[in-house]
């Protein structure tokens, strides 16, 4: 087997995510690269939760339709995913065919919490799949830490209650760490030098706040959870003015409340990094599912005209590196900078080859001559950035149209000069981004048919592109639009197919503004990611 997929399902509150992570860790120890999709409704208890863990010898970033092994904790899991080749289930609560294990009875006999049934079932899974006991025990120790002993005892009960059904081959490759996009973003922001992270919890960005809170212990990093998103952006801009490098995290509904602050950042030239994790809307929508429906919102949020940087990483590796770059670029150009994410990138663990030592440019400084002028009108529009106190000077920021000293003006010539300064700074940002790889090309780089995508569709588009011998062109930076790089990537392309997870074709609309017209568009609005099989079928339907 070059690859296999395992699904584990049950109700909210039964530890399905943790169980999925344990299976993913086992697959990694077997020498496979891993991608895990976790599906859960917006419920604390009940409903149907499941995780699909796909393991493959080569790079992976999406799931397939077909499931090889099903681990079921309730009857609903069997009903929904019963096409799996091998069923492993709790014999005490489920009727079905396959390998039944008395998991509930075992839990009762061991005096363990009901949530630990998943560990018993995973023990049985390892026996059924021919996974060596040593790998099971190593995975449990890595996943549970100080709570490993009890879970090992329960897993071994399940292991000995099962029987071998298949043999998953063990690969020689070393295990690769699992990382979610949100964890990678948190690590990247820290690598970029942030001093503070401010956020109100909002799925699917919440785990960045949790990760930051853990990582901040014993360090100078400030992590704050204010009362709402208006307070978040206001506090962040205050911290930035005072000399702190600061990032915030939110989703669509919370970002709505931040948009006035985005305009303040633009006018006052107070830098901030904003992680905007998309989910289906409008309004509350589906809080625990994914979407790419806020691209246009982020590109145009805030009133007036001012430069911004919008980055859409597609893998944990990119999330790490571009989050670090986002901090540097936000402070270099004194602008609001966006990291555009979603649930499919942010919450789903994958094997990630993070390079902790990748190079970042040294922070650039513009010397201030004589009396400090906060908004000194420089040739590239970027003024010297100083934080108070500055001896002998006042550091004044202003949301009004202002002169070089930050004093409110309404004179026509001064107003025009202030506006042109911001636009000139945008041009300098655009020129700077020419030195970055803002476009990623996968698949066959000379194929006449190209898939055009952005963000979390990276993995599924790459895999389908390789299977169908297509070129895959993915925009990592969306604003300023990397026109020259995009045009070069399209050289020789005869047919363009846009792939995006929204209804109105927001990426399609963006490239149209630069004169490019796609031949077809494939969209998804279910809140679930494209599977490899589904996207392959749909692409075959439009390239025949």
Give average pLDDT by consecutive 10-residue segment, the chain, 544 residues.
Answer: 93 95 97 97 91 96 97 97 96 94 97 96 98 97 92 97 94 91 98 97 97 97 98 98 97 97 98 98 96 98 97 98 97 98 97 89 68 93 92 91 96 96 97 96 96 98 97 98 98 98 98 97 97 98 88
Phi, psi of 320 (to 5 degrees): -65, -55
Q: Domain range holding 271?
A: 178-351
Q: So what's the pLDDT on residue 43?
A: 87
Query: 451 and 417, same structural domain?
Result: no
**Distance between CA 88 and CA 70 in Å, rounded?**
6
Structure tokens at 32: 């496979």
**Distance between CA 258 and CA 30 in Å, rounded?**
45
Q: Is 309 domain-assigned?
A: yes
Query: 86 and 199, same structural domain?
Result: no
Length of the chain: 544
Q: So what's the pLDDT on residue 269?
A: 98
Query: 192 and 304, same structural domain?
Result: yes
Q: So what's the pLDDT on residue 46?
A: 87
Among 380, 406, 433, residue at a domain's last position = 433
Is residue 379 helix, strand or coil?
coil
CB 265 within 8 Å of CB 287: no
**Distance between CA 360 and CA 321 in Å, rounded?**
9
Query: 347 and 274, same structural domain?
Result: yes
Query: 403 and 334, same structural domain?
Result: no
Straight-line distance from the first to the last Cα atom of the chain, in angstroms, rounded to the nearest whole number: 31
Q: So what's the pLDDT on residue 172?
A: 84
Structure tokens at 543: 């390239």
Is residue 215 helix, strand or coil?
helix
Overall number of domains in the chain:
4
* Residue 448: burial class (beta carbons within 10 Å; 0-12, 13-18, 19+): exposed
**Distance between CA 63 and CA 71 in Å, rounded?**
17
For residue 473, CA distances in Å to 219, 314, 504 come to 40, 12, 20
**Distance between CA 104 and CA 97 in Å, rounded?**
18
β-pairing verdict for 46-56 and 3-12: antiparallel
**Distance between CA 185 and CA 463 in Å, rounded?**
24
63 upstream amide cis, omega within 30 of 0? no
Q: So what's the pLDDT on residue 366?
A: 61
Phi, psi of 103 (to 5 degrees): -65, -40
Query: 86 and 18, same structural domain?
Result: yes
**Distance between CA 332 and CA 263 in Å, rounded?**
18
Query: 335 and 316, same structural domain?
Result: yes
Query: 444 and 427, same structural domain?
Result: no
The structure's pTM equals 0.96
Q: So what's the pLDDT on residue 493?
A: 97
Q: Supply the CATH number for residue 502's domain.
A: 3.40.50.920
Provide the β-strand partners of residue 54: 5, 35
Q: Is 359 domain-assigned?
A: no
Query: 453 and 428, same structural domain?
Result: no
């Amino acid at each position: 087997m070059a690859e296999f997929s395992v699904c584990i399902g049950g109700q909210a509150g039964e530890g399905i995510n943790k169980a999925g992570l344990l299976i993913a860790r086992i697959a990694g120890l077997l020498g496979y690269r891993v991608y895990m999709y976790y599906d859960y409704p917006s419920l604390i208890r009940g409903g149907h939760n499941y995780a699909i863990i796909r393991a493959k010898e080569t790079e992976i970033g999406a799931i397939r339709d077909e499931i090889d092994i099903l681990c079921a904790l309730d009857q609903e899991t069997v009903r929904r995913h019963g096409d799996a080749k091998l069923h492993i289930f709790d014999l005490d609560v489920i009727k079905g065919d396959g390998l039944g294990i008395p998991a509930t009875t075992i839990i009762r006999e061991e005096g363990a919490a009901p949530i630990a049934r998943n560990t018993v079932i995973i023990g049985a899974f390892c026996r059924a799949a021919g996974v060596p006991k040593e790998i099971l025990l190593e995975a449990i120790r890595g996943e549970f830490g100080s709570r490993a002993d009890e879970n090992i005892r329960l897993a071994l009960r399940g292991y000995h209650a099962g029987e071998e059904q298949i043999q998953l081959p063990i690969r020689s490759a070393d295990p690769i760490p699992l990382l979610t996009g949100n964890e990678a973003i948190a690590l990247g922001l820290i690598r970029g030098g942030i001093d503070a992270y401010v956020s109100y919890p909002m799925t699917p960005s919440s785990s960045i706040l949790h990760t930051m809170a853990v990582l901040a212990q014993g360090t100078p990093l400030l992590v704050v959870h204010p009362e709402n998103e208006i307070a978040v952006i206001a506090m962040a801009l205050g911290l930035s003015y005072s000399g702190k490098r600061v990032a915030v995290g939110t989703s669509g509904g919370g970002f709505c409340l931040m948009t006035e602050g985005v305009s303040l950042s633009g006018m006052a030239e107070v830098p901030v990094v904003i992680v905007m994790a998309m989910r289906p809307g409008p309004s509350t929508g589906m809080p625990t599912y994914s979407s790419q429906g806020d691209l246009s919102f982020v590109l145009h949020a805030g009133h007036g005209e001012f430069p911004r940087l919008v980055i859409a990483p597609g893998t944990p590796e990119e999330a790490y590196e571009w989050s670090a770059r986002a901090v540097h670029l936000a402070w270099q150009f004194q602008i609001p900078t966006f990291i555009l994410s979603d649930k499919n990138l942010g919450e789903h663990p994958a094997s990630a080859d993070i390079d902790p030592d990748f190079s970042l440019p040294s922070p650039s400084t513009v010397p201030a001559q004589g009396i400090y002028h906060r908004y000194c009108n420089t040739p590239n529009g970027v003024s010297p950035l100083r934080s108070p106190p500055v001896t002998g000077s006042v550091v004044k920021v202003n949301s009004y149209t202002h002169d070089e000293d930050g004093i409110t003006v309404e004179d026509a010539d001064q107003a025009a000069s202030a506006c042109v300064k911001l636009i000139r700074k945008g041009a300098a940002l655009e020129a700077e981004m020419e030195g970055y790889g803002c476009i990623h090309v996968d698949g066959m780089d000379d194929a006449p048919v190209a898939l055009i995508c952005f963000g979390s569709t990276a993995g599924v588009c790459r895999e389908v592109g390789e299977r169908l011998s297509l070129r895959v062109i993915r925009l990592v930076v969306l604003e300023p639009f990397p026109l020259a790089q995009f045009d070069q990537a399209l050289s020789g392309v005869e047919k363009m197919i846009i792939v995006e997870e929204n209804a109105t074709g927001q990426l399609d609309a963006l490239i149209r503004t630069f004169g490019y017209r796609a031949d077809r568009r494939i969209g998804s609005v279910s809140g679930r990611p494209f599977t490899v099989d589904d996207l392959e079928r749909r692409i075959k339907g439009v390239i025949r």
